[in-house]
């Protein structure tokens, strides 16, 4: 149980285009999902908290117009990188909150984004 999937696992896009990454909780409902960014051999940096049916909460320094987050259902959150540039190339990881009383996040396998 508690499986989180991400799609795609790897994407290459051209500079200036947009790319959408999906995060799904497969066997549970997730009111809250989180999006992280990770550079090689570095830690996970929280980008935003996504709550079903409401606007995402972005961490300081994260451009909300560049990283659009939508949490339209209890099993799906999407991250759209708009007008991508090479510096947006990174590993993006989502996690889903296990819910009240669970006190744990379940992580997706991550998406490698390369912007050329």
Q: How far apart are CA 37 and CA 90, in angstroms?
A: 7
Which residue, 28 or 91, has its beta carbon nearer to other proteins?
Answer: 91
Q: How far is the CB of 107 from other proteins (least distance, A)?
A: 4
Query: DSSP state, 112?
Result: E
CB atoms within 10 A of CB 68: 16
Does 41 contact other proteins by CB under 8 A? Answer: yes
Q: How far apart are CA 95 and CA 35, in angstroms?
A: 7
Does 104 contact other proteins by CB under 8 A? Answer: yes
Does 91 contact other proteins by CB under 8 A? Answer: yes
Structure tokens at 101: 């009383």
In the complex, which residues of this chain contact other proteins (CB under 8 A)?
A: 32, 34, 38, 41-44, 46, 49, 91, 93, 95, 97, 100, 103-105, 107, 109-110
């Amino acid at each position: 149980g508690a499986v989180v999937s991400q799609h795609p696992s790897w994407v290459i896009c051209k500079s200036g285009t947009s790319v959408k990454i999906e995060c799904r909780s497969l066997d549970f409902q997730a009111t809250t999902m989180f999006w992280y960014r990770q550079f090689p051999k570095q830690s996970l940096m929280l980008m935003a908290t996504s709550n079903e049916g409401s606007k995402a909460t972005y961490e300081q320094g994260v451009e909300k117009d560049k990283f659009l987050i939508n949490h339209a259902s209890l099993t799906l959150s999407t991250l759209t990188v708009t007008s991508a540039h090479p510096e947006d190339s990174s590993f993006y990881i989502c996690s889903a909150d296990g819910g009240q009383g669970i006190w744990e996040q379940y992580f997706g396998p991550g998406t490698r984004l390369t912007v050329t």
